[in-house]
Structure 1
């Protein structure tokens, strides 16, 4: 009987201790850190698309244009690691009205441009050599990891400041962090094109401006739970 009571007492103390741990007073807050950065490089995805009735001729024409494009890219002194073929396709297409087959060939090239001052020259040359589709332009920062680290630190500082503001009203203080959740997502802005300056509108030969790169908002979001003291 005494042993049974002893066992029950130990169980009661264990349960009580467990409940005390679960009921540790704490506060959970969100924090956001944002760093605005002017992009210094971009990734361009461009495509040559050719069509015709003969598969062999269509593919040959597409290959010749891509060969010219690659020669031009090399003349731009881009590092070999900064451009690559992303996709190649040759697909039959059927016109039900005319009851005829045709073929569509595409080759897609991905280019990392590390000097945005060469953007206009690169784009003009690509189009001149046969590129007839611009699939995507993404602006980036070469120091992305550094700015992400800065944004995370700012997010944690804001979370701590929020928690201190809340508990100061109650005459309490925050202790160590219990949990930290990273809710960050990386966002790359899409290109914002500006109208080309017409050379006919002005006698002066000013350099053209064909896009506005804007800024990248590098944002970090965290959720932090602090113990209350």
Structure 2
């Protein structure tokens, strides 16, 4: 289950409850009203409707031109397979192309090393958005059989997570209010109006995969989408009465 952590803090305050009172009763007019600052957390889940893949093809040859040509042919076959599986052009994006020389190093009698250029490696990385996540395993299997041979990433997401995030926010605020009431009751005071609420969004990284672990001759790669958990953390400042 992917955990989407959405801590809600716009001000540098520790997520711990704190109650502040004026230093002197006689200076009430010049001191801010007593307040309490608490943190709250809420969580809501949603079934993912998008699979996000990062697939890489690496080819090696004696010259950079030959390596690039071989890579182009392999990646073209992968892209054609993606389109034949129903992936639209808007959901296919080249994420990067790298051309790197590969050297062999030998030790010389004087203790130094001699570098010999033996090949060039070309790596092309493709980002794929799959809107029918039931096809994810088949698409992975087909991509590997056609030339994907480098580790990439897979993540399951929601095209519109706003409903789940809204539910999590409501639960987080309710949690903060319950904490504030408990602390205020223990201190012999009561909570008043809300002075400030803050939040912040943080997305999780994708889960790494290893293309070499897939058996291109076997059945489709087993993939479980699970559900996405959206967690919201809030910091709320209440006035005390």
Same fold, TM exceeding 0.5? yes
Partner secondary structure for residue 186 of structure 1: coil
The offset of 1:88, in angstroms, is: 1.0
The offset of 1:112, in angstroms, is: 0.6
Counterpart of 1:87?
A: 96
2:148 alignment partner, one of 122, 128, 131? 131
The offset of 1:116, in angstroms, is: 1.2
Counterpart of 1:167?
A: 184
Distance, in Å, in 2 between the alignment partners of 1:55 and 1:189 is 31
Distance, in Å, in 1 between the alignment partners of 2:101 and 2:66 is 13
Gaps of 5+ in 2: 1-24, 107-114
Q: Is the 8 A contact 1:184 1:219 kept in 2?
A: no
- Per-residue deviation, residues 6-28 of structure 1 (Å, max 9, x unmatched): xxxxxxxxxx9986353411111
Partner secondary structure for residue 96 of structure 1: strand
Instruction: Sort the Cα spacing of 1:105 and 1:38 in 2 relative to 1 into closer, same or farther, 3 A.
Output: same
Question: Does the alignment pair 1:70 with 2:79?
Answer: yes
Counterpart of 2:232?
A: 220
- Per-residue deviation, residues 170-224 of structure 1 (Å, max 9, x unmatched): 453211112222254333663799x99xxx9xxxxxx866133333221111111
The offset of 1:57, in angstroms, is: 1.1
Instruction: Sort the Cα spacing of 1:72 and 1:225 in 2 relative to 1 into closer, same or farther, 3 A.
Output: same
Question: Does the alignment pair 1:156 with 2:173?
Answer: yes
Q: Is the 8 A contact 1:45 1:135 kept in 2?
A: yes
Root-mean-square deviation over aligned CA pairs: 2.9
Instruction: Sort the Cα spacing of 1:66 and 1:85 in 2 relative to 1 into closer, same or farther, 3 A.
Output: same
1:60 alignment partner, one of 69, 72, 76? 69
Distance, in Å, in 2 between the alignment partners of 1:100 and 1:83 is 34
The offset of 1:81, in angstroms, is: 0.9
Question: Does the alignment pair 1:109 with 2:126?
Answer: yes
Counterpart of 1:42?
A: 51
Distance, in Å, in 2 between the alignment partners of 1:101 and 1:208 is 36
2:202 alignment partner, one of 185, 199, 209? 185
Q: Which has the higher strand share?
A: 2
Q: Is the 8 A contact 2:151 2:209 kept in 1?
A: no
1:33 alignment partner, one of 33, 42, 62? 42
Higher relative contact order (CA 8 A, sep 6+): 2
Q: Is the 8 A contact 1:68 1:129 kept in 2?
A: yes
Gaps of 5+ in 1: 1-15, 201-206
Q: Which has the larger radius of gyration?
A: 1
